[in-house]
Chain A
């Protein structure tokens, strides 16, 4: 597509429920990132995928969070047993590559999925 597409744009769920957030990156972008943006906070890195390499999961806040990327394209972020502190905007971004020489860091962001846990 022309840009990074995320769905749903808004999700309200009850504490304890599982949620899935989807990201469709820009076609041809091999690197995909998930960030979390809480009110009044900066962007918190969660996880990143680069091609067929093992994902960097170092930013995931707990084992309730997981993500996968199928076929090197669409990614799904799953939050199990949601808690109120999970309420935030979840941003997905993609870039052409994560290689040192060719990527100077320009990321293309989706519009985010706003998650509200009641």
Chain B
């Protein structure tokens, strides 16, 4: 069975500082990995995905994530945080042979960027 762990329920960072939101996964085989963001009272929005190729993936709003196969991680990063980045972030995983129905989401990490 596949699973996703987001070990931090809450991450606080000062505006202008780099941010990291952690995600580790467990699947049989190669993973497809995703990050979604949820702003207050809104649905989830797709940020970025890793399918294959370059381990560093760049996405929307200046976010990027690095796929690390040996550590089974896919941490979300941004060099300089903005107050507007404050939101709930979800990591998700599935295997290539599966369908989007088989996406497994983490429990989410609340990011707060302090002015």
Contacts and interface: CB of A to CB of B under 8 A. Distances in A.
Q: Are A and B co-members of a single complex?
A: yes
Contacts of B42: 111-112
Interface residues of B, number: 27
Contacts of B34: 105-106
Contact of A104 (B49, B105, B108): B49
A50 B103 CA distance: 15
B111 to A, nearest CB: 15
Interface string B98-112: 111101011110000
Interface residues of A, number: 28
A112 B43 contact: yes
Contacts of B70: none
A107 B99 contact: no
Contacts of B105: 42-43
A21 interface: no
Interface stretch (B11-19, B75-83, B88-96): B88-96
A98 to B, nearest CB: 4
A91 B101 CA distance: 14
A65 interface: no
Contacts of A98: 99-101
A100 B49 contact: no
Contact of A106 (B46, B98, B107): B46
- Among A4, A40, A43, A50, the most chain B Cβ lie within 10 Å of the Cβ of A43
Interface of B: 4, 9, 32, 34, 36, 41-46, 49, 51, 90, 92, 94, 96-101, 103, 105-108
